Structure 1
Amino acid sequence: MADELGSASADLALVFVSSHFASDLPRLLPLLHKRLQSTHWLGAVGGGVIGTDRSGKATEVERNAALSVTLLNLPGAVLQPFAVATDSLPDLDGSSEEWHRWFELDPNTTRAMLLLVDPGSSGITDLISGRDYAYPAAACIGGIAAPHNAPHGSLLCGDQVVSGAVGLGIGGDWTLDPVVAQGCRPIGPVFAIEQSHRNVLLQLSEGSRRDSPVACLQRVLAELTEDEREMAKDSLFLGVERRDLLIGGNQPSEPGSAFLVRNLIGVDPRNGAVAVAERVRPGQNVQFQLREANASRQEASQLLCAARERAERPPLLGLLFACLGRGSGLFGTADGDVSIARSVMADLPISGAFCNGEIGPLGGSTHLHGYTACWGLLRQAPLSS
């Protein structure tokens, strides 16, 4: 790569390193800087890495040692890298200007944001909420880096290996189109929450019938095929309706986008209560979800097709942050998510990593997800003069 580029300099270098190389990061980064020229550098350690080789083939490397380096020339872009310590967040009840100063990003020139977080960071949910508060019009895509045993962070920014969070404000003539594929299909009816406490469902209703969440789930499972019930043993989730994902009572434009898919984390056999990895409240709707490969393929393909049709110009790059639970473990074959993208956008270069949690918008808010594929389609979108 260095020989091909010669003395040419890129605007942005994206570096994703598998955890096999984590202990080598302090030596690897200076070597890359010596051999490759770029104004800005950003990256993270991944449980696996995603990249495009010199023949143009996009590849997901899940278990082997790998390094993905993507060099981008972005004429007319305003790129603002940042590195922040997540143990000292601004007050969520404070002003948005406090967050602007903390991120050191100008909201007037930030159209989109890339956000990478160290797995040892605290306050990740508050960080994402604060980002939304300060930059509501800027879509955000990213992920939680992979953990490792080396005595340093999992993030790369400039010539430093750091912890906390790093990212990039993107503006000028460029933006990121976000696509979040949750990879589940609904099973059974939509239930209304009648009683709950924090993240625990106590009573659900379907029409005039009220019952415990466990009893409702048992009815749903009874209607499934034997294969589906077997799948539900380790692939069962709950979709929690978010009112902010529905506008004016209309149906969401994205498949399943009214429901934020969350893990089921416990059952109380004494009263049939179910705990879910999301705070819930009476009046919300919920629906059980089954995660499986065909639904994941169909959903991702639909969402990427819709993004392609909405865009005035094709993307230069697809940034992919995928859950460690996807890949061959979900699809049964290698390159599952990149193959879906290439079936929609055949020549799309792809870069990214397998993450411990994915960051992306659903409806009007950014969320920390699990088991998803969060895409950021980087494209040129000149501002009107």
Structure 2
Amino acid sequence: MGTFSPLDWFRAATSTPSCRSALSTRPSMEEAVRDVVSQLGRRGEADLALVFASTAYASDLPRLLPLLRRELSSRHWLGAAGGGVVGTRADGTAAEIEQAPSLSVTLLSLPGAAIDSVALSTTSLPDLDGSAQTWQEWSGLNPQHCRSQILLIDPTSSNINDLISGMDYAFPGAEKIGGIACPHNAPHGSLLFDDRVVTGAVICSIGGDWRLDSVVAQGCRPIGPVFAIEQVQRNVVLELSDGERRDTPVACLQRILADLSEEERDQVRHSLFLGIERRNLQLTPNRLDAAGGAFLVRNLIGVDPNNGAVAVADRVRPGMNVQFQLREADASRNEALSLLRSSTESAGSAPLFGLLMACLGRGQGLFGQPDGDVNLGRTVMPDLPMAGAFCNGEIGPVAGSTHLHGYTACWGLLRQDPPSNAD
């Protein structure tokens, strides 16, 4: 575990923020390391190094961080193996590299930052019915220095949803962005931490004068009205209502299909999802207010033609609002652009860096051309350095709570923003 020292803060407070990035597509890992080192140059110590490597280098992963640390200096090192990587070259060009050897390294110098990083086993977690302090002590992270978190999880890990819920419980004010690394056939994990490869989870806590703003683009557009769940058994929805009218989910969907174009009806066959409304509940001194809601997009995992029921990949209960969703490239572009523009317009300072954790199902498979999400980010923030990975599941907030997603692009925009109560 890294430790935070006032001396580290004083040293960082006298420096200038910087983001140095490199991206290599050399076929061997040793060549890729030499390439990124050449792009980055040997300068002073950074505060945080983020390393994302293609699973094409899986057998050599245990040697990756030691090789990089011989040439480059940073207080904290963490990263993951991905089905592809996102990176920015030294000349400022950014790219998504899919299904090819690739290595992305970013060195961040963050004056006034409080950074800590930990590697944790997920085999045994604290009780979610226990205290938040128990979770804080288990993680080893100081809540006073935690405004944001990068959360990376190994694909072999257990209790993933409980871990995400527990970190929300322990650090409710911290934005959390991350993803599940990609599996491979080598006999070790997929997470990078300090100078080794690990399993479980790796968490980086960011505080002080810096925070991550989250942008979660789920890539769908709603079709049809908002329904209320009337009857449900576990995760199987039996009956929906629209005003006074009640019917099975399949019957409701058939009415929606009648109003769609032939192309849209064809998309429904392979790109239909269900959005489940989540309310962002904030506790005020006098009452509990609903401070906005959003639809959390979830897979439909089964249909019963006998009774018209549908099974959804999440917990649902009577009274919840739901809406069918259609996943398509245009919807993904429009949603991501809208959310990114909203984030930049509402924030005070321009981001120094963008962390992008995207689903393996996005990229060229969704957009029909390379660099789909990177180009959207550059449309709004033309000079933004970015890095990340194509994941087996993405982690980001919707309506105030952190969730595990699929088919999503989760952005973490790193900004210098001293707390309002700072001296």
**TM-score for both structures, normalised by structure 2:** 0.88
Describe how 1:130-209 pairs up with structure 2 within 5 A: 130-209=166-245
* 2:179–2:392 contact (8 Å) kept in structure 1: yes
Give the Å deviation of 1:35.
1.7
Instruction: Report the secondary structure of 1:97's partner residue.
Output: helix
Describe how 1:197-346 pairs up with structure 2 within 5 A: 197-244=233-280, 248=289, 252=292, 258-346=294-382
Matched, 1:2 2:37: yes
User: Using the alignment, how far apart are the partners of 2:281 and 2:294 within structure 1?
Assistant: 5
Q: Give the partner amino acid of 2:333.
A: R
User: Using the alignment, how far apart are the partners of 1:64 and 1:29 within structure 2?
Assistant: 20
User: Using the alignment, how far apart are the partners of 1:312 and 1:241 within structure 2?
Assistant: 29
User: Using the alignment, how far apart are the partners of 2:214 and 2:46 within structure 1?
Assistant: 24
Give the Å deviation of 1:245.
6.5
User: Using the alignment, how far apart are the partners of 1:359 and 1:232 within structure 2?
Assistant: 26
Instruction: Report the secondary structure of 1:244's partner residue.
Output: strand
Instruction: Report the secondary structure of 1:242's partner residue.
Output: strand
* 1:245–1:362 contact (8 Å) kept in structure 2: no
Which among 77, 87, 94 is matched to residue 51 of structure 1?
Answer: 87
Q: Give the partner amino acid of 1:145.
A: A
Q: Deviations over 1:329-363 (max 9, x none)?
A: 11111000010110101100000000010000111
User: Using the alignment, how far apart are the partners of 1:357 and 1:236 within structure 2?
Assistant: 18
Q: Give the partner amino acid of 1:2.
A: V
* 2:281–2:289 contact (8 Å) kept in structure 1: no
Q: Give the partner amino acid of 1:198.
A: R
Q: Give the partner amino acid of 2:160.
A: I
**1:355 matched to which residue of 2?**
391
**2:413 matched to which residue of 1?**
377
Give the Å deviation of 1:38.
1.2
Instruction: Report the secondary structure of 2:366's partner residue.
Output: helix
**TM-score for both structures, normalised by structure 1:** 0.96
**1:77 matched to which residue of 2?**
113
Q: Give the partner amino acid of 2:256.
A: V
* 2:224–2:323 contact (8 Å) kept in structure 1: yes
* 2:42–2:71 contact (8 Å) kept in structure 1: no
User: Using the alignment, how far apart are the partners of 1:249 and 1:72 within structure 2?
Assistant: 37
User: Using the alignment, how far apart are the partners of 1:142 and 1:371 within structure 2?
Assistant: 14
**1:62 matched to which residue of 2?**
98
Matched, 1:27 2:55: no
User: Using the alignment, how far apart are the partners of 2:365 and 2:401 within structure 1?
Assistant: 29
Instruction: Report the secondary structure of 2:211's partner residue.
Output: strand
User: Using the alignment, how far apart are the partners of 1:243 and 1:12 within structure 2?
Assistant: 34
Q: Deviations over 1:280-302 (max 9, x none)?
A: 11111111000011111111111
Q: Give the partner amino acid of 1:354.
A: F
Give the Å deviation of 1:274.
0.3
Which among 30, 40, 53 is matched to residue 17 of structure 1?
Answer: 53
Instruction: Report the secondary structure of 2:375's partner residue.
Output: helix
Instruction: Report the secondary structure of 2:307's partner residue.
Output: coil
Q: Deviations over 1:129-173 (max 9, x none)?
A: 100100000110000000111111100110110000001000111
Q: Give the partner amino acid of 1:305.
A: R
When residues 7 and 208 of structure 1 are mapped into structure 2, their CA distance, relative to the original with a 3 A threshold, is closer
Q: Give the partner amino acid of 2:360.
A: L
Give the Å deviation of 1:249.
5.6
User: Using the alignment, how far apart are the partners of 1:5 and 1:62 within structure 2?
Assistant: 26
Number of residue-to-residue matches in the alignment: 380
Give the Å deviation of 1:34.
1.0
User: Using the alignment, how far apart are the partners of 1:283 and 1:98 within structure 2?
Assistant: 33
Instruction: Report the secondary structure of 1:302's partner residue.
Output: helix
Instruction: Report the secondary structure of 2:144's partner residue.
Output: coil
User: Using the alignment, how far apart are the partners of 2:235 and 2:159 within structure 1?
Assistant: 18
Give the Å deviation of 1:5.
2.5
Question: Which shifted more, 150-159 or 375-384?
Answer: 375-384
User: Using the alignment, how far apart are the partners of 2:107 and 2:294 within structure 1?
Assistant: 36
TM-align CA RMSD: 1.4
* 1:202–1:213 contact (8 Å) kept in structure 2: yes
* 1:245–1:258 contact (8 Å) kept in structure 2: no
Give the Å deviation of 1:240.
0.7
Give the Å deviation of 1:8.
2.1
Q: Give the partner amino acid of 1:217.
A: L
Describe how 1:59-138 pairs up with structure 2 within 5 A: 59-138=95-174
